[in-house]
Amino acid sequence: MITDINHSGIVVPDLGVAIKFYTEIMRLQLIDIRERDGMGISQVLGYENTHIKVADVSTPTGQIIELIEYINPKPQNAKSSERAELTASHIAFNVTNIQEVYEFLIKSGGVSLNPPIEITKGKSVCYLQDPFGNWLELIEMS
């Protein structure tokens, strides 16, 4: 039986830059930084001689996002930046003052797909990418 979501993970090309974006810009809290290599992580991820660096960041309410930099194997660029593609993913954040948050993230290295729009009465949403191409969604409920 599934009881809860433990964390979400995204692959980034540079862990230091990702930590800076997610902590200084997105204002998430850095919880842990670690490296993994050896048989265990190689078996879990299915690559021979796997070596990764990982940082956990947390929202104010405790949701964890795992930022993962692959040292071995070298990561491949995404085949496209489409959202309507199998295995495409995003992380959605609840925010206050969506327009202000959106503008700040774009000014700070995020890449805009669309500005915030009210999709239903009292619910505004927008999509953007972090500096590494990972999709982020902002949601404001008023």
Q: Spell out the domains of the chain, with CATH numbers in brackets.
A: 8-72 (3.10.180.10), 90-141 (3.10.180.10)
Of residues 91, 103, 92, 100, the one with CA closest to residue 125: 92
Distance separating alpha carbons of residues 103 and 98, to the nearest angstrom: 8
Q: Tens digit of pLDDT for each residue in 25-63?
A: 999 999 999 999 999 999 999 999 999 999 999 999 999
pLDDT at 1 (0 to 100)? 67
pTM attached to this predicted model? 0.88
pLDDT at 108 (0 to 100)? 97
Distance separating alpha carbons of residues 97 and 124, to the nearest angstrom: 10
How are beta strands 111-112 and 117-120 bridged, if at all?
unpaired
Of residues 34, 18, 38, the one with CA closest to residue 26: 18
Spacing of C-alpha 24 from chain mean position: 14
